[in-house]
Structure 1
C-alpha cells in the first residue's frame, strides 16, 4: 500500500490547468518593504531576518501538527510453505555416496500461515476521540487488520469507518488495543476496544485560499520506516487531474482538482497531511509522479470536508454520480480533436482497450440519453472549463438533485435534464 504513482494515461483524462494561479503566497515576503533596504543600508541583515521568521514559522507549524500524525500499519495472515522432512546437509550427493544414504524424496510443502506486515501509510487525527483521515488505498484490503502508532509511540487498533467511493480517502477510528488481539487468538467475534480520549488533533484549513508559490510542508511515515518525516516545498499548481494507480497495478482511480507540490511525498507518506505555515491542514498527500522528481499531489482538504459531514450524518460517505468519463476541453485541445467550434466543455470519452466506458451502464447519464462524443458545455448555466470542472460541480450536489445540461452534439445544441444518483461500488 504504497503512495500512488502518476499514471502514464494522465493525458487522456487530465483537464490540466497549465497556469493555475498567480505566483505569490511567500509568507515572509510581505515583511520587507522596498524602502527598508535604503533605510538601514544592510540588505543581508534583512535577508537573515526574513529567513529567521520563515524558519520559526516552519518549526511552529510542525510542532503544532506532528503530535496528531499517525503511522498506519496493515497486517495479515499470509500463507507460507515450509519444507518438511529434508536435511540439506545429508541430501548433498557427496555425503550420500560417502555414508551410503539413499536420496531423500522431497515431501510436499505444507502450507502454514504467518502474520506479516503487508503495507503501511500515514494518517492524521481530526477529533479528540481518535477519528482520523488517511488514503483509501492505505486501508483498502478488507482481509487485513490495521493499527496506528502515534508520535509518542502509543499503538491503537484501527477501525475503517468509511471508504470514499470516488476519492482516495478513508475515515478511520482509533481504538484502545486488546480486544482485537484476543479475537485473533480465539477466533471469536469481539468488538473494538473503547475510543481514546483527549487525543491531539489537527486544525483544518481552507484549501481554496492556496496560491501557487505558497510554502507548504508534507508530514508522513516515509517508506514505512521513518515516522513523522517532514519535507518542505511550495504549491506548484492547483486544480490538477490525474489517473493514479498503485504499485501493484490493481488499483486505479481518477483524481481531480488536486494540489501539485514539490515538497517530497515519499513512499509511505500516503494519507499524511499537507500543511501551510500556520499549521493548518490544507491537503492529504496521495500521489507522486514516479518518473519525475519533485512532482507530488495532494487532495485539497475542502474536497474532504463534505465527506466528514456525510459520515457524521449518515455513518458513511455518500457521493452523487453522473456516470461519464470525460476530458476538459480548451481551445488548443479542441483544435487537436477537430472540434473547432468549441473552446470549453467536458468531452465524454472512454478507452475501450482498457474497458473504460465513456457512459457508465445504467448510470444517470445513460438514462438521460447522453452519448459518447457529446460535449457538456454548461451545468445549471455554469460554464464547464479548466477552472470550473464537471466533476467538481457534480460533487457539490447530492443524490436526487436534478441538473440542467447544455450539450453540444455534432454541431447541435441540446438541453438535457439528468437526476443524480448515489454512487455504488457494486
Structure 2
C-alpha cells in the first residue's frame, strides 16, 4: 500500500510538472507574439534618407533581413600609429623609463602600434564615416570592405576632434554599397536599434537593443560629448565609428563609447549632429565654427553674491582669449552675460548655442551684468582657429 502511495505521489509530481511546463511554453509563445508582432517589409532605401517612424514593430526575421541588407556597407578599420620604441625591452615601460631616465637605453627606434575600429560607407564614391579617435594620429589606415580580397588603403579627408567625427576616402575604381542617414531627432526612447561593428576584432558582430535615453552628456578622457544617444545594445572596443541603425536599416547614430563599469550602457553620436557638419568635413576638411573667444561657467549662489548679481541666471565669463573677438569688443573676465540677441541667458549653454547657430561675421548683441549694472556689448563672430 505504501509503494502504491509513493508511486501515486511521483505520478502526481510528474503530471504537475508537465502542466506547469505547458503553461510556461504557452506563456513563451504569447510573449513572442506580444513583443515581436509581424510588420510590413522595410523600406527599399529610396527617398530623402530621413526616418520618420520609431521602428518599434519589429520581429527577429525583420532584423535578420535588415542586417543582411546593410552589412556590405559596414567596414572594418585598422590603424597603425608610429611611436618611439627602445632597444631595451624595459624602456618600453613608461614607469621604468621615468625611474631610470632615457640615458639607460641605447637608441630609440620607431615602431607601429595597431588599433581597430568600425565605419560605414555613406557615399558610393568611397566616403566613410567613423570616429575621430579611431584614426587620430594614424600614419596608415586600412579598410576591409565586403567583396574585396584584401584591405584597402584609406586617407582622412576631414575630421573634427571636438565632435569626434572623421571622414575617410578609399579609391577602388567602382561604386560601393552605402547606408542611408536617418533622423535621430524623431527617434523615440524605447525604439529598437541595431549595432554592427568590429568588437575585439570580431568583424560584423551584430547586437540589438533599444534607445535607453537621449541627450546624455558624457565626458571621456578630455572629450566632452554633450548630446549622446544611450543604448543597451552591446558596444565594445572596436565598435567605435560603426553604425547604430533603426529597424529599416537607416543610420541614427555612430557608436562611440561604452561605460566600462556597467553592462548595457553604450553611447552613440546622433546622426543629426553628423548631418549638420558632413558637408564641411567632406568639402573643407574641417567643421567651420563661429567663435567669439571666451570661456564660460555657471553662476552659483556664492558667485552671484560675490559679483552682486540678483540671481544665478546667466553665464560668467571666466576667461577672455587675448586678441579674440570678445576682447576686442570689450568683454571682460567677471562679466555675467544675461542676454544674447534679446534672449534671456539661464546657463552657459544658452550662449554657446547662440554662437553655434550664428554665421561667420554675424554681430551678437550681448547684455552683460558688470559692477552691479548692465550694459550692451556687440561681438562679431569669426571662424574658430
Contact 2:216/2:229, CA 8 A, preserved across alignment: yes
**Higher RCO, 1 or 2 (CA under 8 Å, sep at least 6)?**
1
1:395 corresponds, among 347, 353, 356, to: 356
Q: Are residues 362 and 258 of structure 1, via their aligned partners in 2, closer, same or farther at CA, if it must alter by over 3 Å?
A: farther
Q: Are residues 395 and 75 of structure 1, via their aligned partners in 2, closer, same or farther at CA, if it must alter by over 3 Å?
A: same
Identify the residue that residue 122 of structure 2 maps to in structure 1. 126
Identify the residue that residue 29 of structure 1 maps to in structure 2. none
1:156 corresponds, among 126, 133, 152, to: 152
Contact 1:260/1:295, CA 8 A, preserved across alignment: yes
Matched length: 320
Q: Are residues 257 and 110 of structure 1, via their aligned partners in 2, closer, same or farther at CA, if it must alter by over 3 Å?
A: closer
Identify the residue that residue 19 of structure 2 maps to in structure 1. none
Runs of 4+ in 1 over 6 A off after TM superposition: none
1:221 corresponds, among 188, 198, 201, to: 198
Identify the residue that residue 141 of structure 2 maps to in structure 1. 146
Identify the residue that residue 204 of structure 1 maps to in structure 2. 181
Contact 1:69/1:220, CA 8 A, preserved across alignment: yes
1:51 corresponds, among 36, 44, 57, to: 36
Contact 1:257/1:392, CA 8 A, preserved across alignment: no
Q: CA RMSD in A?
A: 3.4
| Stretch deviating more after TM superposition (234-243 or 369-378) | 369-378
What does 1:374-385 align with in structure 2 at a 5 Å threshold?
374-384=335-345
1:242 corresponds, among 218, 233, 241, to: 218
Contact 2:79/2:142, CA 8 A, preserved across alignment: yes
Identify the residue that residue 9 of structure 2 maps to in structure 1. none
- 5+ residue gaps, structure 1, are 1-41, 84-107, 177-195, 246-251, 350-357
Identify the residue that residue 324 of structure 2 maps to in structure 1. 363
Larger radius of gyration: 2
Pairwise CA distance, 1:45: 4.1
Pairwise CA distance, 1:372: 4.4
Q: Are residues 155 and 215 of structure 1, via their aligned partners in 2, closer, same or farther at CA, if it must alter by over 3 Å?
A: same
Pairwise CA distance, 1:122: 1.3
- 5+ residue gaps, structure 2, are 1-26, 39-57, 89-104
The secondary structure found in structure 1 opposite 2:136 is coil
The secondary structure found in structure 2 opposite 1:48 is helix
How does the TM-score come out when normalised to structure 2?
A: 0.71
Contact 1:274/1:285, CA 8 A, preserved across alignment: yes
Greater helix share, 1 or 2?
2
